[in-house]
Chains A and B, each alone.
Chain A
Amino acid sequence: GAGVSQTPSNKVTEKGKYVELRCDPISGHTALYWYRQSLGQGPEFLIYFQGTGAADDSGLPNDRFFAVRPEGSVSTLKIQRTERGDSAVYLCASSLSGGAREQFFGPGTRLTVL
Protein backbone atom coordinates (compact mmCIF):
# COMPACT_ATOMS: atom_id res chain seq x y z
CA GLY A 1 0.00 0.00 0.00
CA ALA A 2 0.93 3.62 -0.33
CA GLY A 3 2.97 5.29 2.35
CA VAL A 4 2.73 8.82 3.67
CA SER A 5 2.95 11.34 0.86
CA GLN A 6 3.73 15.03 1.04
CA THR A 7 3.32 17.75 -1.51
CA PRO A 8 5.08 19.68 -2.79
CA SER A 9 8.47 18.06 -2.38
CA ASN A 10 10.11 21.46 -2.69
CA LYS A 11 8.70 24.92 -2.14
CA VAL A 12 10.57 28.18 -2.69
CA THR A 13 8.85 31.35 -1.57
CA GLU A 14 9.65 34.92 -0.72
CA LYS A 15 9.73 36.42 2.73
CA GLY A 16 6.29 37.53 3.79
CA LYS A 17 4.36 35.12 1.57
CA TYR A 18 1.82 32.49 2.64
CA VAL A 19 2.46 28.79 2.06
CA GLU A 20 0.52 25.56 2.45
CA LEU A 21 2.11 22.14 2.83
CA ARG A 22 0.02 19.02 2.35
CA CYS A 23 0.25 15.60 3.97
CA ASP A 24 -1.61 12.45 2.91
CA PRO A 25 -1.31 9.86 5.68
CA ILE A 26 -1.55 6.12 5.34
CA SER A 27 -5.19 5.10 4.91
CA GLY A 28 -6.79 4.22 8.22
CA HIS A 29 -4.21 5.97 10.38
CA THR A 30 -5.98 8.17 12.88
CA ALA A 31 -2.90 9.84 14.34
CA LEU A 32 -0.97 12.43 12.32
CA TYR A 33 2.11 14.42 13.29
CA TRP A 34 4.00 17.35 11.83
CA TYR A 35 7.70 17.86 12.53
CA ARG A 36 10.24 20.40 11.32
CA GLN A 37 13.86 19.49 10.59
CA SER A 38 16.35 22.31 10.30
CA LEU A 39 19.74 21.76 8.73
CA GLY A 40 21.97 19.62 10.93
CA GLN A 41 19.24 19.03 13.51
CA GLY A 42 16.87 16.28 14.44
CA PRO A 43 13.17 16.61 13.68
CA GLU A 44 11.30 18.90 16.06
CA PHE A 45 7.66 18.23 16.97
CA LEU A 46 5.11 20.79 15.82
CA ILE A 47 1.59 19.40 16.18
CA TYR A 48 -0.33 16.15 16.68
CA PHE A 49 -3.81 15.28 15.40
CA GLN A 50 -6.00 12.47 16.66
CA GLY A 51 -8.74 12.29 14.09
CA THR A 52 -9.85 15.78 13.14
CA GLY A 53 -8.74 17.54 16.28
CA ALA A 54 -5.37 18.95 17.21
CA ALA A 55 -4.65 17.07 20.42
CA ASP A 56 -1.31 18.77 21.02
CA ASP A 57 -0.09 21.91 19.24
CA SER A 58 2.53 22.81 21.81
CA GLY A 59 5.34 22.65 19.24
CA LEU A 60 4.01 25.34 16.91
CA PRO A 61 6.58 28.14 17.20
CA ASN A 62 4.15 31.07 16.95
CA ASP A 63 0.77 32.10 15.64
CA ARG A 64 1.99 32.30 12.06
CA PHE A 65 1.82 28.52 11.98
CA PHE A 66 -1.50 26.69 11.76
CA ALA A 67 -2.56 23.19 10.74
CA VAL A 68 -5.88 21.57 9.91
CA ARG A 69 -7.21 18.09 9.29
CA PRO A 70 -10.89 18.70 8.54
CA GLU A 71 -11.92 15.17 7.58
CA GLY A 72 -9.49 13.22 9.70
CA SER A 73 -7.29 12.23 6.80
CA VAL A 74 -5.35 14.80 4.75
CA SER A 75 -3.68 17.55 6.74
CA THR A 76 -2.43 20.97 5.68
CA LEU A 77 0.24 22.96 7.47
CA LYS A 78 -0.17 26.67 6.84
CA ILE A 79 2.49 29.30 7.40
CA GLN A 80 1.63 32.98 7.18
CA ARG A 81 4.08 35.83 6.60
CA THR A 82 6.97 33.45 6.07
CA GLU A 83 10.39 34.36 7.43
CA ARG A 84 13.83 33.16 6.37
CA GLY A 85 14.07 31.25 9.64
CA ASP A 86 11.13 29.10 8.56
CA SER A 87 13.36 27.44 5.96
CA ALA A 88 13.53 23.74 6.83
CA VAL A 89 12.25 20.32 5.84
CA TYR A 90 8.71 19.79 7.10
CA LEU A 91 7.98 16.16 7.87
CA CYS A 92 4.64 14.49 8.28
CA ALA A 93 4.10 11.15 10.01
CA SER A 94 1.09 8.97 10.71
CA SER A 95 0.34 6.03 12.95
CA LEU A 96 -2.59 3.71 13.55
CA SER A 97 -3.39 5.47 16.80
CA GLY A 98 -1.71 6.60 19.95
CA GLY A 99 0.04 4.18 22.25
CA ALA A 100 3.68 4.32 21.16
CA ARG A 101 3.00 2.64 17.87
CA GLU A 102 5.37 3.13 14.98
CA GLN A 103 5.15 6.45 13.20
CA PHE A 104 5.53 6.25 9.44
CA PHE A 105 7.21 9.27 7.94
CA GLY A 106 6.72 10.94 4.60
CA PRO A 107 9.64 12.18 2.47
CA GLY A 108 9.14 15.74 3.62
CA THR A 109 8.67 19.12 2.00
CA ARG A 110 11.77 21.28 1.73
CA LEU A 111 10.72 24.89 2.28
CA THR A 112 13.10 27.67 1.29
CA VAL A 113 12.21 31.25 2.17
CA LEU A 114 14.25 33.79 0.24
Chain B
Amino acid sequence: AQSVTQLDSQVPVFEEAPVELRCNYSSSVSVYLFWYVQYPNQGLQLLLKYLSGSTLVKGINGFEAEFNKSQTSFHLRKPSVHISDTAEYFCAVSGGDNTDKLIFGTGTRLQVFP
Protein backbone atom coordinates (compact mmCIF):
# COMPACT_ATOMS: atom_id res chain seq x y z
CA ALA B 1 0.00 0.00 0.00
CA GLN B 2 1.10 3.54 -0.66
CA SER B 3 1.23 6.30 1.90
CA VAL B 4 2.40 9.88 2.19
CA THR B 5 3.78 11.65 5.25
CA GLN B 6 3.99 15.39 5.55
CA LEU B 7 6.10 15.98 8.59
CA ASP B 8 5.07 19.56 9.29
CA SER B 9 1.46 20.47 9.88
CA GLN B 10 2.31 24.19 9.94
CA VAL B 11 5.22 26.21 8.60
CA PRO B 12 5.42 29.90 9.54
CA VAL B 13 7.83 32.02 7.52
CA PHE B 14 8.49 35.67 6.83
CA GLU B 15 7.96 37.17 3.41
CA GLU B 16 10.94 36.85 1.03
CA ALA B 17 12.45 34.03 3.10
CA PRO B 18 13.09 30.60 1.58
CA VAL B 19 10.83 27.70 2.51
CA GLU B 20 10.89 23.92 2.31
CA LEU B 21 7.83 21.75 2.85
CA ARG B 22 8.72 18.14 3.50
CA CYS B 23 7.10 15.08 2.00
CA ASN B 24 8.03 11.43 2.34
CA TYR B 25 6.25 8.56 0.65
CA SER B 26 6.06 4.82 1.00
CA SER B 27 5.47 2.50 -1.93
CA SER B 28 6.57 -0.89 -3.13
CA VAL B 29 6.27 0.12 -6.77
CA SER B 30 7.26 3.04 -8.94
CA VAL B 31 5.25 6.11 -8.20
CA TYR B 32 4.21 9.42 -9.58
CA LEU B 33 4.42 12.35 -7.17
CA PHE B 34 2.44 15.57 -6.99
CA TRP B 35 2.16 18.78 -4.99
CA TYR B 36 -1.21 20.51 -4.84
CA VAL B 37 -2.05 23.88 -3.28
CA GLN B 38 -5.38 24.81 -1.74
CA TYR B 39 -6.05 28.49 -1.23
CA PRO B 40 -8.80 29.45 1.23
CA ASN B 41 -12.25 28.59 -0.10
CA GLN B 42 -10.84 27.32 -3.37
CA GLY B 43 -10.30 23.93 -4.99
CA LEU B 44 -7.02 22.07 -5.22
CA GLN B 45 -4.61 23.34 -7.87
CA LEU B 46 -1.65 21.38 -9.21
CA LEU B 47 1.72 23.01 -8.44
CA LEU B 48 3.98 20.42 -10.02
CA LYS B 49 4.38 16.72 -10.70
CA TYR B 50 7.09 14.12 -11.12
CA LEU B 51 6.39 11.34 -13.59
CA SER B 52 9.87 10.37 -14.78
CA GLY B 53 13.12 11.87 -16.04
CA SER B 54 14.84 14.76 -14.31
CA THR B 55 14.49 14.55 -10.56
CA LEU B 56 14.25 18.34 -10.20
CA VAL B 57 10.79 19.48 -11.16
CA LYS B 58 9.78 23.09 -11.62
CA GLY B 59 6.20 24.19 -11.14
CA ILE B 60 4.05 27.25 -11.11
CA ASN B 61 4.53 30.32 -8.92
CA GLY B 62 8.28 29.73 -8.54
CA PHE B 63 7.99 26.42 -6.70
CA GLU B 64 10.20 23.42 -7.35
CA ALA B 65 10.59 19.94 -5.90
CA GLU B 66 13.23 17.26 -5.98
CA PHE B 67 12.48 13.57 -6.22
CA ASN B 68 14.89 11.51 -4.12
CA LYS B 69 14.29 7.82 -4.60
CA SER B 70 16.82 6.64 -2.02
CA GLN B 71 15.27 8.80 0.67
CA THR B 72 11.72 8.35 -0.67
CA SER B 73 11.22 12.10 -0.47
CA PHE B 74 9.69 14.80 -2.63
CA HIS B 75 10.28 18.07 -0.76
CA LEU B 76 8.81 21.31 -2.07
CA ARG B 77 10.92 24.47 -2.09
CA LYS B 78 10.67 28.13 -2.94
CA PRO B 79 13.63 30.51 -2.63
CA SER B 80 11.56 33.56 -1.71
CA VAL B 81 7.93 33.40 -0.58
CA HIS B 82 5.21 36.00 -0.91
CA ILE B 83 2.23 36.78 1.28
CA SER B 84 0.07 35.31 -1.47
CA ASP B 85 1.70 31.88 -0.99
CA THR B 86 -0.21 31.49 2.26
CA ALA B 87 -2.23 28.33 1.71
CA GLU B 88 -2.49 24.62 2.47
CA TYR B 89 -0.09 22.41 0.52
CA PHE B 90 -0.70 18.73 -0.12
CA CYS B 91 1.75 16.11 -1.31
CA ALA B 92 0.23 13.15 -3.16
CA VAL B 93 1.31 9.90 -4.77
CA SER B 94 -0.21 7.67 -7.42
CA GLY B 95 0.90 4.66 -9.39
CA GLY B 96 1.17 0.95 -9.05
CA ASP B 97 -2.18 0.36 -10.72
CA ASN B 98 -4.05 1.86 -13.63
CA THR B 99 -6.50 4.01 -11.74
CA ASP B 100 -4.25 6.99 -10.98
CA LYS B 101 -6.12 7.59 -7.76
CA LEU B 102 -4.20 9.99 -5.57
CA ILE B 103 -3.11 9.21 -2.04
CA PHE B 104 -2.69 12.49 -0.16
CA GLY B 105 -0.71 13.52 2.87
CA THR B 106 -2.40 15.41 5.69
CA GLY B 107 -1.22 18.76 4.39
CA THR B 108 1.09 21.57 5.50
CA ARG B 109 -0.27 24.99 6.30
CA LEU B 110 2.19 27.62 5.01
CA GLN B 111 1.69 30.96 6.73
CA VAL B 112 3.70 33.85 5.31
CA PHE B 113 4.09 36.90 7.56
CA PRO B 114 5.00 40.42 6.40
Interface set of A (CB-CB < 8 Å, partner B) = 3-4, 31, 33, 35, 40-45, 48, 55-56, 59, 91, 93, 95, 98-108
Contacts and interface: CB of A to CB of B under 8 A. Distances in A.
Contacts, number: 65
Interface of B: 4, 6, 32, 36, 41-46, 49, 51, 90, 92, 94-95, 97-107
Q: Is the contact region of chain B dominated by helix, strand, or loop, or is it mixed?
A: loop
Given A56-B97, A100-B51, 4 more contacts: A42-B4, A95-B100, A102-B49, A103-B100
Q: Is the contact region of chain A dominated by helix, strand, or loop, or is it mixed?
A: loop
A98 B41 CA distance: 28
A43 B43 contact: no
Contacts of B103: 45
Contact of B44 (A45, A91, A95, A98): A91
Contacts of A103: 46, 100, 102
Nearest to A3: B43
A47 B80 CA distance: 38
A48 B99 contact: yes
14 contacts: A31-B100, A41-B107, A42-B92, A43-B104, A48-B101, A93-B44, A95-B100, A100-B49, A101-B100, A105-B43, A106-B43, A107-B41, A107-B42, A108-B43
Contacts of B106: 40-42
A105 B100 CA distance: 14
Given A42-B105, A100-B51, A55 B99 contact: yes
Contact of A42 (B43, B45, B104): B104
A98 B43 contact: no
